[in-house]
Amino acid sequence: MGASDYLRAKFQRERHLALSLQNGFNSVMQSAEEVSSTIYSGVERLSWYSSCFIPGYDNVCKELLSEELRTFYSINSLFKHHDIIRHMLFLYFQSVCEDIKEGNPGGAARKLLSNSTYLAGSTYTAKMTRHAFAYSLSAALAQSEIIQKTVVQRLAAKTHIAVQALHLYGFQQKAVLSARKLKAADPDYYWILYQANMEMLYYFIEPALAEIMNKVKQGTFNNLDELTSFIRGKYDV
């Protein structure tokens, strides 16, 4: 089961689907530390709503309500895409490809594309196009261990029914803070996700993408070969 499939299963409350994940993730799913952190975030978010009862804090209350609606839109987007994790990554790499040179004909980027199994049966060809490269790289990273573990860890932890509401609110609070961080760090990508109703799901790809985004912003990669080599070496894809 892929990360996007698990997200859909979680929000459909089909807990039996979650159990079909690899046994290697069981210890992560049972992480009490993650549960405590998420519940704390839920309490924190609920406390923010006290601003709705304080004169002069209307803007804060409106922002909270707007984030609730944006979260609903983002969750709804889960069911409109076969693999939303891959699609979010694709949107980022597609934008990055517009600003970075392709690289050498025999370089890492072309090799990734020519050796990729993700393009089989699709309309893409082995021709080195930026669109095909973005698709191939995002598909590989979407299946990486770090993405799989992140999604499981941030959603699958079991809680008592009495605190499930706080756990859900905690997820939302962490997703909101992650989206706010993205908006400050990379406004262009934030608005790309916003227009696609996906910005609240950035939380699930942040651990893998944040370092890449930072290095891209710093101009670390001179071409797509260097970007590809870094990602393949860092995340074993």
Phi first, then psi: what are they for 198, rounded to 5°? -130, 0
Q: Which domain holds residue 156?
A: 3-235
DSSP, collapsed to helix, strand or coil, labels residue 192 as helix
Question: Domain count of the chain?
Answer: 1
28-82 residue pLDDT tens: 344 444 555 565 565 666 666 666 777 776 777 888 888 888 888 888 888 888 8
Do the Cβ atoms of 149 and 178 come closer than 8 Å?
no
Q: What's the CA gap between 10 and 155, in Å, rounded?
A: 7
96-131 residue pLDDT tens: 887 777 666 666 776 776 666 544 444 444 444 677
> Hey, what long-range contacts does 185-189 have (CB within 8 A, 24 or more apart)?
185/210, 185/213, 185/214, 185/217, 186/213, 186/217, 188/95, 189/91, 189/92, 189/95, 189/213
Q: What's the CA gap between 107 and 229, in Å, rounded?
A: 9
128-149 residue pLDDT tens: 467 788 888 898 899 888 898 8
